[in-house]
Structure 1
């Protein structure tokens, strides 16, 4: 079968925050780009984080440079992408047994990094955040916030698309064709159609996050990557109004982040052998919650609806076994020492610093292309797009009640996502050349993210897709398996109390009634 051949100035490999941010940055400079992603937008670390927009205070001891970058970039994003940010503020909270020397030095360390930190009487803090431990011995207020990573990436991609950037989702890199120190073409496969695609580009950027080492190796370049898994849990309700951090050096179980109507608690740092092996475990979650109860006692009685994990793409720069000691700064590699003059890797860093990572990468790309246009992402607001609006928690109920259309039935009752919203998202995917599926709809909305975790809405959505001609024959079973596998794998580590009864209901409904085999759905 003859491969489809495409040409462009820059090929970006990876559809996370950095890749989509780079696509926007280059498009604003007039550079023609194609972005390819082997799964969907934010399929890696950009979709597996806690959504914390760092003040930088978490890194004042371990990585002051990253702390300053987070402070500067966080302030920029609050101003330039307000639709993606909830400016909650944050507390750093110490409890008995925490390092008193670190507590005493906290304010000065923050000041040295230009980070605002104001002492708060623990009694006043408890009145403002009743979920805190009454035993708190010190509290500082900082300028933390939260950010919606899916809205952020989708908004970046929407503007890039409006400036003629082409996006190929579910396209996996198979290899590189090289000649005389240059990558002449990149071979890909469309994982939906199994058709091959070949792309010629003047410059190739590897922005594949935790998979950057694997992609670079295919081009003949080596990156010494470390894979640090961070696991988190989502509570059924929102526990606090602010971001709450443990007042100690960065460790496990020390961040509680509000996320719309829920809260996210974490995280861990567990070395794994490969990014594809990332999955939260019951042991991790148990240990994390046991530790976190000292700061937020309510963690012991809260119902959790899901656990998930992401992989931190860390680049090894020295010895040591503690992944938290590895810099959270980013690595921009030109690969000229590997004999490649048109291949670049950008990896590491934080979601908070994605824009800066994209800017520095675009600067290098443009120097090689001879493009002298300046970066505009530090000054131009990020436009809010209709393609990203439905990731916002609580938006669809407001729209549904305002619309007051009895015929606009709810497909997802937990998050109140209606047929009209579903159709709008599916239409947008089709318009942009992508196949609408249950997981793709879920990435761009709140469907499946409520307490039932897709038990009922998955069936309603699949039936609606058949009604609309989006599915035929046995495709619905495959869609259900794919969608439910992603939801159910996050429930396994939390099977205690009411969650066990819910899991039994799901198994009876989907495996007993529909014949979806348990071993297939709960695969790793």
Structure 2
């Protein structure tokens, strides 16, 4: 294959770059070693930052988050729950920091509205009775999966191509440039080659490994963060602890659930991250300081992501002191003129990261078309619509009288028609309509049962429809349930432990499947 631009990495940044370039008349090829949002883009809170979290220690990032949050509300409203947020302090918190917070916000130009404890609890009834201060801010929630899927869908309509489960394994170097990139299909082992005019490294935590293939040096600090998902929505808006960034200090609504986190722990290998019991205990304990009910609610899953931070390992292990700003590198300084790396940053600033990267790419390619993503609406597409929590129940309840549409996932009310729609889109993109692929593009398996019942029903439906054949379903259901199992191991208490035992009895006892694998040892 030949292309003007090869983008390595299928997260929000890579897909955002593909769309930005396509709008300037430059088609690209995007390759992702697993699936959309497999890295940090799929392992975060889904928080649309107002910037207030960084007002005391990272003013530049605070300003970027504020501006980009406002832009995204205008151009991608379908991806956003504009629920607002607040910062709250409880007895024992640093009163000097509490007193300085409004001044920090004012200095950064961030809106910050003081609330009395009574006013705050009227907005968020679950707040602690030990509340001493509260401020409203412009936080929100954003669906990162819808964001990436709709960015790449729009880019593909303008000529871009996406290859999932495809890893860049080798660069063939020429005179100050990458001449050929070898790609491997992880499912078939097939090798493909691409001859790009320009290569953009949007590999996130893996950006250093990708840069090394071109002989370039890039120090990436991998900061792992763990989060917990509650069964139901606890908060109306985002709730932040009013203190310097620490563990378990943000609660974000995620449609029908809430997400509490996060932690920060340095890891060596971004491919080897598993939530731990110690992390979940820490998150619950810290979060309960501002939301006491967090010690009693049912949690249905824990998950982790890796923040790609650019910095020096000599600065110690406290990664919260490393800037959340992004880093854009022209590797011409390393002797590779057609190679760019973009990494770091926040989910909220992905559009700005894509804009600056595309600006550099266009300069190298001689394209003078300006960026338009600041004002051009992101179209709503079929590819992204089913990731929205609560959408499937609304669609099913609104079906025409007499229409038969059997429910396959009772937790998220996903019907046969929904599965068929997603499978159809996957086939159009040369993807296999298996459980993992369907789950990435919907709410399948994300409810309290974590796939125990819906996995079997959906597989049976896919066989009935002729979409699957042979023994593929056995490997499929094992891979799907192992992924759900990994997220339940650290939260085995109360109702979720009972649920896990039922799942094991069904799938291991009755169906004779071997689940969990080496995750048990972790």
Q: Does the alignment pair 1:35 with 2:30?
A: yes
Native 8 Å contact 1:481 1:521 kept in 2: no
RMSD (Å), alpha carbons: 1.1
| Residue aligning to 1:363 | 359
* CA distance in 2: counterparts of 1:500 and 1:291, whole angstroms: 22
After TM superposition, the structure 1 = structure 2 runs for residues 43-62 of structure 1, keeping only pairs within 5 Å, are 43-62=38-57
**1:434 paired residue number:** 431
Equivalent residue number for residue 460 of structure 2: 463
> How far apart are 1:135 and its partner, in Å?
0.9
Shift of 1:48: 0.5
Per-residue CA distance 1:95-130 (angstroms, 9 max, x = gap): 111111111110110011110001000111112111
> How far apart, in 2, do the equivalents of 1:251 and 1:169 lie?
35
Q: Which residue of 2 aligns with 1:3?
A: none
What is residue 110 of structure 1 aligned with on the other side?
105
Q: 1:133, CA displacement in angstroms?
A: 0.3
Matched, 1:424 2:421: yes
Alignment-derived partner of residue 324 in structure 1:
320
1:282 maps to 2:241: no
Structure 2 vs 1, CA of residues 522 and 464 (structure 1 numbering), >3 Å: closer, same or farther? farther
Matched, 1:348 2:324: no
SS at match of 2:6: strand
Partner of 1:447: 444
Relative to structure 2, which stretch is displaced further, 465-474 or 159-168? Answer: 465-474
Q: How far apart in 2 are the matches of 1:120 and 1:86?
A: 22
Counterpart in the other structure of 1:127 = 122
Residue of structure 2 aligned with 1:184, choices 160, 170, 179: 179
Q: Which residue of 1 aligns with 2:241?
A: 246
- Residues 174-323 of structure 1 aligned to structure 2 (within 5 Å): 174-317=169-312, 319-323=315-319
Aligned match of 1:386: 382
Superposition pairs for residues 73-88 of structure 1, below 5 Å? Answer: 73-88=68-83
**Residue 406 of structure 1, CA deviation:** 5.2
8 Å Cα contact 1:485-1:521 kept in structure 2 = no
TM-score normalised by L of structure 2? 0.98
Instruction: Confirm or deny: 8 A CA contact 1:415 1:450 kept in the other structure.
Output: yes
> 2:498 & 2:161 partners in 1: Cα distance?
46
**Deviation larger for 56-65 or 509-518:** 509-518
The CA distance in 2 between the partners of 1:279 and 1:173, in whole Å, is: 25
CA contact (8 A) 2:482 2:516 kept: no
Distance 2:167 2:513 in 1: 28
User: Structure 2: where are the runs of 5+ without partners?
Assistant: none
Residue in structure 2 matched with residue 515 of structure 1 by the alignment: 512
Is the counterpart of residue 8 in structure 1 residue 3 in structure 2?
yes
> Deviations 1:34-80 (Å, cap 9, x if unpaired)?
00001110011000000000000000111100000000000000111
TM-score (norm 1): 0.98
Per the alignment, residue 90 of structure 2 pairs with 95
Cα distance between partner residues in 2 of 1:518 and 1:358: 40
Structure 1 residue runs without a partner (length 5+): 1-5
Q: Distance in 1 between matches of 2:431 and 2:472?
A: 16
1:419-472 C-alpha deviation (Å, 9 max, x unpaired): 111011110111122222111101111110000000000001111111122222
Query: Aligned pair in 2 of structure 1 residues 521, 416: CA closer, same or farther (>3 Å)?
Result: farther
Q: What displacement does 1:187 show?
A: 0.4
1:395 aligned to 2:386? no
| Segments of 4+ moved more than 6 angstroms | none
The residue matched to 1:492 in structure 2 has which SS?
A: helix
